Amino acid sequence: MTELLNIQALVKAALAARQHAYVPYSQYMVGAALLTRDGQIFSGCNVENAVYPAACCAERVAIFKAVSEGMRQFSAIAVATTNGGSPCGICRQVMRELAPDMVVIIADEKGDIWQTTVAELLPDSFGPEHLGFAQ
């Protein structure tokens, strides 16, 4: 997943998903594109709600779509925002639960790209192994 072509394709899918965001309150559109280990891409956008806690971030929409279709192994996720904003804490925890070794690509609307990992975004994290469950 380090090939530039694959990263660019994933960012392009995240930018496209961003256009579907429902953001009447913040106007902050976010798109995400999740790559499974078998090469499928699941996209998502943020969906706001007047009751703010009922909203859902693009990253979780993409991940939950993939999980709901039976996917459990993920290689990378691209997140596209206006200014290259990083995933929130809840999204980081969900990524850590389901894909602790996943590459995270962050892009802004100008096309600038940063690459990191879930472990770098959420160091010293809490996971299933802390509850006595093996991963």
Residue 86 in contact with residue 106, Cβ under 8 Å? yes
Residue 59 annotated in active site: yes
Residues 6+ away with beta carbon under 8 Å from 82:
28, 29, 108, 109
How far from 84 is each of 71, 72, 98, 112, 125, CA to CA, in Å?
A: 27, 27, 23, 8, 23
Of the residues 59, 69, 97, 109, which is catalytic?
59
Annotated catalytic residues are 59
